[in-house]
Amino acid sequence: MSALTEAIAKSFATRAKQPPARSPLRALGRRQLSGAEVLAQSVATTAPAVSMVVLPVTMLTHGHLLGGMITIIVATVLVTLIAFCVSQFTRRMAASGGLHSFVFRGLGTRAALTTGVAMLVKYLGSAAMTLYHGGQAAIALLGFAGIHLHNTFQVTALYAGISALILGALVRSVRFAAWAILIVEACSLLFIIALMLIGRSGSQQAQIVPPTSSHGLLLTALAAVFALAGFESAAFFGPEARRPLVTVTRTVLLTPLICGGLFVFAGWAAWSGRSDTLVNAYLHGTATGVSPAVVIALNIGLGCSWLASSMASSNAASRLIYSFGIERLIPRRFASVHSVFRTPHIALSAVITAVLLGGGAFAVLGRGEIFDDLRLTVRGAVILAYTLVAIASLVFLTRISEHTPGILAAASCGSGAGGVTLGYLVYVNMIDHSYVTPIAVLSILMSGTFWQLYLAQRSPKSLLHIGAFDRPETEDVLPGAGVFTTDAAGNIVLVRESVVGESATGAR
C-alpha cells in the first residue's frame, strides 16, 4: 500500500477532536492574487518610469556618466543579492508583515521591530513624496489646460481628491488596485522607453541645473538603490497570492532584474544623449524649446507613475500596519478588515491620511531642506532594513541547517555593502553639518529596543504574537495527514507532516 493510500484510508478513521486550525491572516482573503498582479505591486512600488528620468538627471547633474553607469550596474547586482536573501524566507513562509516577519525568524524580536519601523518609514515617506510629485504633475497639466491653482484651498482640494481616489481604489479590492497599478505603470514605461529610443543623440543638449552637493557618486548610488527598492513589497501580499511560496519568490527575484535592466538602458540613454530631450522637459518644461506636446505627455507619464507608486507604497504600508495589529503591537482595530471587500480599511485610512498630510504639506508650504532630509532618511531606512534581512537570512538558514555557500556570499556582500553605504551616508551628512538624517537613522536603529521595552512593560503577551505568518488551515491538510497542536500563543498549528511527508523524505 502506498503512503498516499495509507493517508487517505487514515483520513476516514480520523475525527476532529479540537477546533479547526485557522490562519491568523485569513481575513484578508487567501489565494486570490495572480502572479501578474503580485508583480504589478512590486514593480510599481519602484516607480521605474520616474527612475528612468531621475537617474539620467542625477548622472548628468554630477557629470558622472561612466561612474553612474557602473554604479547602477553594481546597485542592481547588490539589490539582487538582497532579493536572493529575501527569497530564502518567501519560499518557506507567507506573511503580511514582509521583512518585519522574516527578520523575526532570524534575529528575534528587537531586530524585527527595528525592521518594521524602518519599512514603515520607507513606505510612508515614499508614498508622501510620490504623492507630492504626482500632484505637481497634475497641477502642471491643469496649467496647460488653462486652469491655474493659486491658493492653498485649491491645492489642498486637489491633493485631497487624489488621495480619496487612491483610498477608494485600495479599499475596493486588492485585485482592482493591482490591475489599476499595472495598467498605469505599463503605459508610463512604454512612453518613456519610446521617447528614449526615438530621440536622436545630439538633437538637443541637456541643460543641467548646477549640483548642490559634491558627493555625486554617493547620491547616484543612493538614487540607484532606492530606485530598485520596493521589490520586497510583493512579500506583504503572500497570504493573498494564489501560489504564495512560488509567486512571491519569483516576483522578488525578477523585479530587481527587470528594473535594473530598465535603469541600465536609461543610463545608456544619458550616455548617448538620447535622454537629453526628456531631461530638459523634466527640468525646464518648454523653456529650452521642447515641444509642449512632449512636456504634456511626459507630465502624464510621470504623474501616473508617481501616483501608481504612491498607491503601491500605501498598499504595502497598510499590510504592515495590519500585521502589527494582528500581532497586537498596536491596537487591534488596525487589524480590522472590510466586511465586503476584505481589505484592511482602517489601516488603509490611517496610511492615506498620513500620506496626504505629508504630501499636502510639501505642496502648500514648499519643499525646502526638509524634503531632501526626508528623501535621505527614507533611503537610509530601506538600506538598514535590507542589511538586517540579509543577516537574518543567514542566521535563519544556519539554525535549520540549510545554509549554502551561495547564501553566505549573498548575505555577506549584501549586508556588508549596506552597512558601508549607511555608514558613509551618515558620515557625509555629519561633515556637511546636516544632522537631521543621522539623527533619524539612529532613531530608527534604536526604535526596536525602545519598542520592545515598552511592550515588555505594558503588554508582555504581545511579544508572543510577533512574526505572524500564513499557516495551514484544517481544510488545507488531508485529514489524518498532519498533526495539529496548540503553540505558546494559543494558536492551533500544524507541527509535523504525515507518513506521506515522512515517506517522501525517506525516498529522497
Residues 6+ apart with CB under 8 A from 199: 269, 273, 274, 275, 276, 277, 278
d(CA 104, CA 493): 18
81 within 8 A of 348, measured Cβ to Cβ = no
For the chain, give percent helix, strand, coil, nearest 5: 75, 5, 25
pLDDT score for 386? 96
**Quick check: 205 pLDDT over 70?**
no
CA 462 from centroid of its chain's CA atoms: 26
Strands 492-497 and 482-486 turn out to be antiparallel
d(CA 496, CA 400): 15
Set out the domains of the chain in order of their start, with CATH numbers: 24-364+374-470 (1.20.1740.10)
Q: What values do phi and psi take at 492, rounded to 5? A: -85, 120
Residue 33 β-bridge partners? 241
Of the ranges 128-137, 207-216, 484-493, the best mean pLDDT one: 128-137
**Quick check: 191 pLDDT over 50?**
yes
Of the ranges 12-21, 26-35, 210-219, the best mean pLDDT one: 26-35
pTM: 0.88
d(CA 180, CA 41): 10
Closest by Cα among 92, 124, 127 to 106: 92
Residue 483 β-bridge partners? 496
Could you please report the per-residue DSSP string of 156-199? HHHHHHHHHHHHHHHHH-HHHHHHHHHHHHHHHHHHHHHHHHHS
Task: Report residue 499's pLDDT band, with 50, 70 and 90 as the boundaries.
Answer: very low
pLDDT score for 175? 83
**What's the mean per-residue pLDDT of the chain?**
86
d(CA 68, CA 269): 12
Task: Report residue 17's pLDDT band, with 50, 70 and 90 as the boundaries.
Answer: low
Query: What's the whole-number mean pLDDT along residues 452-456?
Result: 95
Q: Which of the pair, 222 or 505, is modelled with greater confidence?
A: 222
pLDDT score for 200? 57
Query: What's the whole-number mean pLDDT along residues 451-465?
Result: 90
Degrees (nearest 5) of the Cα angle 235, 241, 246? Answer: 75
pLDDT score for 501? 39
Query: What's the whole-number mean pLDDT along residues 44-55?
Result: 89
Q: What values do phi and psi take at 497, rounded to 5? A: -85, 170
**Residue range 264-303, pLDDT digits in tens:** 999 888 888 888 888 888 888 888 888 888 889 889 989 9
Residues in the chain: 508
pLDDT score for 288? 81
* Helices 35-45, 174-198: inter-axial angle, 10-degree rounding: 60
63 sits in the region (left: phi over 0; alpha: psi -120 to 50; else beta) called left
Task: Report residue 15's pLDDT band, with 50, 70 and 90 as the boundaries.
Answer: very low
Q: Which of 150-159, 439-448, 464-473 shows the lowest mean pLDDT across its residues?
A: 464-473
d(CA 474, CA 488): 19
Query: What's the whole-number mean pLDDT along residues 67-93?
Result: 92
**Residue range 316-375, pLDDT digits in tens:** 999 999 999 999 999 999 999 998 899 999 999 999 999 999 999 999 998 888 999 999
* Helices 405-431, 216-228: inter-axial angle, 10-degree rounding: 130
Burial label for 342, CB within 10 Å (0-12, 13-18, 19+), is middle
**Quick check: 65 pLDDT over 50?**
yes
Query: What's the whole-number mean pLDDT along residues 448-465?
Result: 91
